[in-house]
Protein backbone atom coordinates (compact mmCIF):
# COMPACT_ATOMS: atom_id res chain seq x y z
CA UNK A 1 0.00 0.00 0.00
CA UNK A 2 1.34 3.38 -1.01
CA UNK A 3 0.90 6.07 1.62
CA UNK A 4 0.29 9.52 0.25
CA UNK A 5 0.88 12.66 2.30
CA UNK A 6 -2.80 12.98 3.15
CA UNK A 7 -2.84 9.43 4.58
CA UNK A 8 -0.08 10.42 7.01
CA UNK A 9 -1.88 13.64 7.83
CA UNK A 10 -5.24 11.94 8.38
CA UNK A 11 -3.84 9.13 10.51
CA UNK A 12 -1.87 11.48 12.77
CA UNK A 13 -4.76 13.96 12.92
CA UNK A 14 -7.15 11.28 14.14
CA UNK A 15 -4.67 9.84 16.65
CA UNK A 16 -3.56 13.14 18.16
CA UNK A 17 -7.10 14.57 18.21
CA UNK A 18 -8.40 11.50 20.04
CA UNK A 19 -5.62 11.56 22.63
CA UNK A 20 -5.81 15.33 23.17
CA UNK A 21 -9.61 15.28 23.50
CA UNK A 22 -9.52 12.50 26.06
CA UNK A 23 -6.79 14.19 28.11
CA UNK A 24 -8.49 17.60 27.93
CA UNK A 25 -11.80 16.00 28.88
CA UNK A 26 -10.28 14.26 31.89
CA UNK A 27 -8.72 17.49 33.15
CA UNK A 28 -11.90 19.48 32.51
CA UNK A 29 -14.13 16.93 34.20
CA UNK A 30 -11.81 16.59 37.19
CA UNK A 31 -10.92 20.23 37.83
CA UNK A 32 -14.08 21.87 36.44
CA UNK A 33 -17.34 22.59 38.15
CA UNK A 34 -20.93 22.61 36.96
CA UNK A 35 -21.18 22.93 33.19
CA UNK A 36 -17.43 22.47 32.80
CA UNK A 37 -17.72 18.89 34.03
CA UNK A 38 -20.37 18.20 31.41
CA UNK A 39 -18.11 19.67 28.72
CA UNK A 40 -15.30 17.43 30.00
CA UNK A 41 -17.55 14.39 29.67
CA UNK A 42 -18.47 15.38 26.13
CA UNK A 43 -14.78 15.80 25.25
CA UNK A 44 -14.04 12.34 26.59
CA UNK A 45 -16.86 10.83 24.52
CA UNK A 46 -15.73 12.67 21.37
CA UNK A 47 -12.15 11.49 21.96
CA UNK A 48 -13.29 7.90 22.38
CA UNK A 49 -15.40 8.03 19.20
CA UNK A 50 -12.52 9.49 17.17
CA UNK A 51 -10.20 6.89 18.72
CA UNK A 52 -12.54 4.11 17.60
CA UNK A 53 -12.59 5.61 14.09
CA UNK A 54 -8.78 5.68 14.15
CA UNK A 55 -8.59 2.04 15.24
CA UNK A 56 -11.15 1.08 12.59
CA UNK A 57 -9.15 2.79 9.81
CA UNK A 58 -6.02 1.07 11.14
CA UNK A 59 -7.74 -2.30 10.62
CA UNK A 60 -7.47 -3.01 14.37
CA UNK A 61 -11.27 -3.44 14.68
CA UNK A 62 -12.10 -5.84 11.85
CA UNK A 63 -15.57 -6.68 13.22
CA UNK A 64 -16.74 -3.17 12.20
CA UNK A 65 -16.28 -4.03 8.53
CA UNK A 66 -14.04 -2.52 5.90
CA UNK A 67 -13.05 1.11 6.57
CA UNK A 68 -13.45 3.73 3.84
CA UNK A 69 -9.70 4.33 3.88
CA UNK A 70 -7.07 1.89 5.06
CA UNK A 71 -4.36 3.55 7.10
CA UNK A 72 -2.64 0.51 8.60
CA UNK A 73 0.69 0.93 6.83
CA UNK A 74 0.71 4.69 7.19
CA UNK A 75 0.21 4.65 10.94
CA UNK A 76 3.53 2.99 11.75
CA UNK A 77 5.36 5.26 9.32
CA UNK A 78 3.53 8.34 10.59
CA UNK A 79 4.18 7.60 14.25
CA UNK A 80 7.84 6.86 13.53
CA UNK A 81 8.10 10.18 11.66
CA UNK A 82 6.53 12.06 14.58
CA UNK A 83 8.80 10.32 17.11
CA UNK A 84 11.81 11.14 14.94
CA UNK A 85 10.75 14.78 14.76
CA UNK A 86 10.31 14.97 18.52
CA UNK A 87 13.72 13.37 19.14
CA UNK A 88 15.36 15.76 16.68
CA UNK A 89 13.67 18.75 18.31
CA UNK A 90 14.76 17.61 21.79
CA UNK A 91 18.36 17.17 20.63
CA UNK A 92 18.34 20.64 19.07
CA UNK A 93 16.80 22.11 22.22
CA UNK A 94 19.41 20.37 24.36
CA UNK A 95 22.28 21.73 22.25
CA UNK A 96 20.71 25.19 22.36
CA UNK A 97 20.34 25.11 26.15
CA UNK A 98 23.86 23.76 26.57
CA UNK A 99 25.26 26.56 24.39
CA UNK A 100 23.28 29.22 26.26
CA UNK A 101 24.29 27.90 29.68
CA UNK A 102 28.00 27.71 28.72
CA UNK A 103 28.05 31.24 27.27
Q: What is the pLDDT of residues 35-76, one digit of tens each?
A: 889 999 999 999 999 999 988 888 878 888 888 777 777 777
Under the banding of pLDDT at 50, 70 and 90, the label for residue 28 is very high
SS3 content of the chain, % helix, strand, coil (to 5): 80, 0, 20
Q: What pLDDT is recorded for position 1?
A: 57
Separation in Å, CA 85 to CA 79, 80, 82, 95: 10, 9, 5, 15
Q: What pLDDT is recorded for position 2?
A: 65
What percent of the chain has pLDDT above 90? 43
Residue 6 has pLDDT above 90, yes or no: no
Structural domains counted in the chain:
1
Under the banding of pLDDT at 50, 70 and 90, the label for residue 92 is very high
Query: Domain containing 48: what range?
Result: 5-102
Find out whether 14 and 54 touch, Cβ atoms under 8 Å: yes
Amino acid sequence: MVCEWYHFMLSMLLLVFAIASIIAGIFTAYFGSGKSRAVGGILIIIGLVVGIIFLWCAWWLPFLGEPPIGLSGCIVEGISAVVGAIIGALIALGIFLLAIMKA
